């Protein structure tokens, strides 16, 4: 798989964080079709944040489909593909944290799932790239606001 992260990652803006960075160490993914990294060090000011431990994980994982599917091309003269398969890609970040002062860490999970119709990666590559670019750009643009919204329960 050619998808790889370069360490350190520069984090996006968050209220109370100054120039956050995350140093990554390659880890063994839970599945052969994945890659995984642990966060071994934090940079910038991130008061209250912690690095990966067994009890409180901080990982970034990526998965490709087990089997990459191709389009079901019409055979009956129709111009439309019916029941076209989907190739599902995922990026998952897990972070442990304390839900209350007297509990053990609980794990929060953030998942981006890319459900790509088979064939789009060949015939609609610019459309797929635009979608991914916009999605990641939107998340980056609203990073601090999303963190604030999760904190205060407003949208």
The CATH code of the domain that includes 127 is 3.30.380
Nearest to 87 by CA among 70, 107, 62: 70
Tell me the backbone φ, ψ of residue 95, rounded to 5 degrees. Answer: -145, 125
> Is 20 in contact with 44 (CB distance < 8 Å)?
yes
97-142 pLDDT, tens per residue? 999 988 899 999 999 999 999 988 888 888 989 889 989 988 999 9
d(CA 17, CA 19): 7
* Total domain count, the chain: 1
24-57 pLDDT, tens per residue? 999 999 989 999 999 999 999 999 999 999 999 9
- What is the reported pLDDT for 1? 47
Continuous H helices in the chain? 120-123, 125-141, 143-152
- What is the reported pLDDT for 77? 66
| Enclosing domain of residue 18 | 9-70+84-152
Is 98 within the bounds of a domain?
A: yes
Is 79 within the bounds of a domain?
A: no
Please state the rounded mean pLDDT for residues 80-85. Answer: 76
d(CA 96, CA 48): 12
CA 119 to chain centre: 23
Q: How confident is the model at residue 6 (pLDDT cuts 50, 70, 90)?
A: very high
Is 103 within the bounds of a domain?
A: yes
Is 2 within the bounds of a domain?
A: no
- What is the reported pLDDT for 78? 66
Q: How confident is the model at residue 18 (pLDDT cuts 50, 70, 90)?
A: very high
Nearest to 97 by CA among 106, 88, 110: 106
Query: Residues 144, 148, 151, 155: is their CA dihedral positive or negative?
Result: negative
Q: How confident is the model at residue 81 (pLDDT cuts 50, 70, 90)?
A: low
Token readout for 35 is: 């890659």
CA 114 to chain centre: 10
- What is the reported pLDDT for 7? 94
Q: pTM, whole model, 2 decimals?
A: 0.85
């Amino acid at each position: 798989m050619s998808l790889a992260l370069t360490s350190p990652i520069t984090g996006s803006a968050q209220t109370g964080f100054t120039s956050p960075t995350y140093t990554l160490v390659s880890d063994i993914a839970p599945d052969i079709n994945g890659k995984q990294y642990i966060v071994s060090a934090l940079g910038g000011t991130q008061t209250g944040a912690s690095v990966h431990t067994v009890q409180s994980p901080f990982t970034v994982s990526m998965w490709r489909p087990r089997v990459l599917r191709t389009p079901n091309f019409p055979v009956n003269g129709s111009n439309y593909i019916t029941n076209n398969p989907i190739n599902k890609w995922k990026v998952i970040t897990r972070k442990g944290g304390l839900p209350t002062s007297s509990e053990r860490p609980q794990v929060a999970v953030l998942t981006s799932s890319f459900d790509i119709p088979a064939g789009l990666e060949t015939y609609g590559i610019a459309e797929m790239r635009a979608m991914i670019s916009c999605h990641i750009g939107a998340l980056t643009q609203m990073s601090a606001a999303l963190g604030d919204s999760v904190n205060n329960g407003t949208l």
